[in-house]
Chain A
Amino acid sequence: MLLEQLINGLTLGGIYALIAVGYTMVYGVIQLINFAHGEVYMLGAFFALTFINLLGLPFYLAFLLSMVCCAVCGMLLDMVAYRPLRRSPRLAALITAIGMSIFLQNLAMIIWGSRPLPFAQEAVPAYFEAKAFTLAGVSLSWFQLFIFGVTIIMMTGLNLIIKKTSTGRAMRAVAQNKTMAALVGVNVNKVITITFALAGAMAAAAGIMVGVYYNSLYPTMGYIAGVKAFAAAVLGGIGSVPGAMLGGVVLGVAEALGAGYLSSLYRDGISYAVMIIVIVFIPAGFFGKLIRETKKSL
């Protein structure tokens, strides 16, 4: 049973990691916890639902199209809600983020109704249900492998973008010091927009996979996933992308093991308790940096 619970946990953890990375990247560049990120994840799932159920598009096309739409949503979110408040106190942007979260939830309720919706049965490729292979009595379905695969590819891809491309270098520069980055010629607004687009695309991927895996989409699904992913990002060190990935996996495994071995009723409480214990001993999270508040000179 331990192996099976670990696999349950890794599946959950991969999803949390995908969303957590979005939180952490946005925090890295503009020091804002984008509370509306969970809603982008939810919109990704609903866009895919609309493309598949209503327009009859094939699964992979709907997947990619939905990621593109959510990237656009992320960019719009930044341009409409956060960019005007770039020079305002941090609190204003935070409240706006919460406001956008509520707004998007209710918008989804108006457009798609508040009832949980399933994907049409024939829409998802049938081989997803089939067993890929069995390992020590535990079987993995093709869809679970798909989730692992997509998660790993996206994480590696993101790491490559951040470490090896000039855009990634610009992102790291803006995260280090926005003013200096602007002084050396980085187009800060463009970098921030790209960050939001990447975060949105990854959240959309997570949303679609969760939607298909559990076959239940509802407008408030972003809230719970968002809170857990935020906890994961904090656990890994907010602002650190590898930290968010690790934090997501740790949180997912803790939740699955907690639900399996300790108490299924308090599974959410157990995963947050794990986060609290880690934070108490490692205040900045796994890979975070403790920054002392100093007087800003620029």
Chain B
Amino acid sequence: MVCRRLTLILGVLALGLALTAGPVLAETIKIGVAAPYTGGAAAYGDNIKAGVNLKLEEINGAGGIKGKKVEIVWGDDLCEPKEAGTVGSKFAADKSIVAVIGHLCSSATLAALPIYVRSGLPCISPTSTNVTIGKVGKGWFFRNVYRDDFQGKFLARYVSKILGLKKVAVFHENNDYAIGLKDAFVAEAKAVGLTVVGIEAYVAKTTDFTPQLTKLLTNKPDAIFLCGYYQEGALIAGQARKKDFTGPLFGADGIDNADYIKIAGKAADDTYMTVPFLADAAGPEAKGFIERFKKSTGRDLDWMSANAYDCMGILAEVIGKVGADRKKIRDALAAMSSADKGYKGVTGVTFFDKLGDCQKPAFVKMVKDGKFTPAKQM
């Protein structure tokens, strides 16, 4: 009886040891990629996957980094802070993961970042735009996308100068990204003489916006600011059009997604959005990438895929230089502090300041006849 118990326990211990020994002996470099792959923001995750996978093919096709293949560990954070914390803990605890590309949503990044800081895991985000992230990152966070204070200002100026509108209504989601963006926009709107006739908020996963729209539309705005992600933005667009709102809609980086047009249908027409990357304005290095993307995914390149592609490229270059060590990767990323020391990718030159933020230009896209096309640039 005791003998059988003992054998069982020893067997389980041996199995456990065998399993844990596995990853340590593996000859791959593991990078964690965190984004929403399921749920209401899953279309963003598709873009990240597409961009990262394209770069991964290139890297592994060329034999990997210094002979070691790169392996991606995908972490689904559902664009929710709670899940992001779980994914963050998982990545931080797995010592074979040397860097993280992510997270996608600013709220998710803010939730996972303290975990990465505590365990010393460098994190580079292709898409989180909230202003406060750099401070929370304490040197472990980098991003190759611009910040919302810049984007909000740009948007206010664009709407006032290029679109020539006088009154706007703001409809924002109640999360870090949208509130930061809304604040930057409203502050600059005051400075350029744009009147904000109403500000309404909603929580994620809301499907009925009719009461708030009724309230906003009584003030007769010229345009509505869809300050949030594509899912709710598309629903707001549809419901606003049903209420006979014919003016333009505009949004920021969150609206640039094929699913926005798919869900809103005809209501998506006449929507403007600021984006960090525009295929038509890209330099010659990007042309090859744009075609490969179109061939492998069947859709036009969006800015998230381009940024994710470059993040993977940045990490590959850095790991090639300093090896697969978390602290060394962080130091090497921090050392990319000026244009000549930066990374030249499809989105231009990326280099980071002390907070890990970077300078990137903004472009404007619009939806016309059910398709994305470049709008008049500022």
Q: Which of B15-23, B39-47, B85-93, B275-283 contacts A (4 or more CB under 8 A)?
A: B39-47
- What are the interface flags for B18-40 relative to A under an 8 Å C-beta threshold, 1 for contact and 0 otherwise? 00000000000000000000111
Partner of B244, one of A9, A139, A265: A139
Residue A21 CB within 8 A of the other chain: no
What is the chain A residue whose CB lies nearest that of B218? A1
Pick from B202, B212, B242, B266: contact of A260, CB below 8 A: B212
A216 with B242: in contact, given A115-B38, A115-B39, A260-B212 (CB under 8 Å)? Answer: no
* A43 contacts the other chain (CB 8 A): no
Specify which of B39, B205, B212 is in contact with A259 (CB 8 Å cutoff).
B212
Interface range for B: 20 to 34
A-B pairs under 8 A by CB, number:
78
Q: Is B183 engaged at the interface, CB distance under 8 Å to the other chain? A: no
Task: Knowing A115-B38, A115-B39, say if A221 contacts B214 (CB, 8 Å).
Answer: no
Take A12-B208, A115-B42 as given contacts and tell me if A121 and B201 are in contact as well, using a CB distance cutoff of 8 Å.
no
- Residue B321 at the A interface, CB < 8 A? no
User: Among B39, B203, B234, which residue has its beta carbon within 8 angstroms of that of A114?
Assistant: B39
Say yes or no: is A25 at the interface (Cβ < 8 Å to chain B). Answer: no
Residues of B within 8 A of A129 (CB): 242
Identify whether the interface residues of B are mostly helix, strand, loop, or mixed. Answer: helix
- Nearest to B39 among chain A residues (CB) is A114
Q: How far is the CA of A214 from the CA of B42 in the complex (A)?
A: 19
Which B residue sits closest to A221, measured CB to CB? Answer: B207
- A116 within 8 A of partner (CB): yes
Q: How far is the CB of B17 from chain A (nearest CB, A)?
A: 34
Minimum CB distance partner of A12 in chain B: B208
Partner of A8, one of B42, B214, B218: B214
Does A66 sit within 8 A of B, measured CB to CB? no
**A1-37, CB under 8 A of B: which get 1 and which 0?**
1001100110110000000000000000000000000
Shortest distance between the CB of A160 and any CB in chain B (Å): 31
Interface string of B197-228 (1 = CB under 8 A from A): 00011110101101110110010000000000
Contacts of B202 in A (CB 8 A): 264-265
Q: A residues touching B (Cβ–Cβ < 8 Å)?
A: 1, 4-5, 8-9, 11-12, 109, 113-116, 118, 121, 129, 139, 141, 210, 214-216, 218, 220-221, 224, 255-261, 264-265, 267-268
17 A-B pairs in the complex with CB atoms less than 8 angstroms apart: A4-B214, A8-B211, A115-B39, A115-B40, A115-B42, A116-B40, A118-B263, A121-B265, A141-B242, A210-B207, A214-B235, A258-B211, A260-B214, A261-B215, A264-B215, A265-B174, A265-B203
